[in-house]
Amino acid sequence: MGAARGVGILGGIARHDRPRGPIETVPRVRVTEGEGVHGDLRGAIGPGKKGKRQITLIEAESWAAALADLNIDLPWHVRRANLLVSGLRLPREPGAIIAIGETLRIRVNCECDPCSRMDEIAPGLKAALLPDWRGGVCGKVISDGEIAIGDEVRIEQ
């Protein structure tokens, strides 16, 4: 299924500097091919690695649907995704390009499968994030950029 064309909005930016570390939300950040989201532990691509999960994005609407299924309310960043996008369906196919702001480009690599950590946050959250890529997408930065909450998000291909 292809992504709907149009424009969405970057609604949130989050990062964490160590495994199981606290999530920090920021209003703006530099994102690069070499580092991913500045200050996020998953962004740097180690020797011999491909960066399959360098940066993660989730749709605000998918997060809201998962929470509605469980009748709970949680902030989006507990999902541990880097970017929250609203008003735009993210691509469900590898190879698609997501553009944010003027220059940031991200290639979609795969679905961001929810892990058992989600059930530590709220029982049933992992299962609620499984349908239709609700857990988001994993990607690799292919063009650096400075991004800020409120920037436009587009699907380029």
Assess whether pLDDT exceeds 80 at residue 157. no
Q: Residue ranges per domain, the chain?
A: 7-155
Q: With 50 as the cut, is the pLDDT of residue 30 above it? A: yes
Which pLDDT score, from 0 to 100, does residue 1 have?
A: 37
pLDDT band per the 50, 70, 90 thresholds, residue 61 = very high
Fold of 7-155: M1 Pyruvate Kinase; Domain 3 (2.40.33)
Q: Enter the pTM of the model.
A: 0.92
Mean pLDDT over each residue of the chain, to the nearest integer: 93
Calculate mean pLDDT across residues 89-100: 96
Q: Is the pLDDT of residue 110 over 50?
A: yes
> pLDDT per residue over 125-147, tens digit each?
999 999 999 999 999 999 999 99
3-state secondary structure the chain: CCCCCCEEEEEEEEECCCCCCCCEECCEEEEECCCEECCCCCCCCCCCCCCCCCEEEEEHHHHHHHHHHHCCCCCHHHHCCCEEEECCCCCCCCCCEEEECCCEEEEEEEECCCCCHHHHHCCCHHHHHCHHHCCCEEEEEEECEEEECCCEEEECC
Is residue 4 scored above 50 in pLDDT?
Answer: no
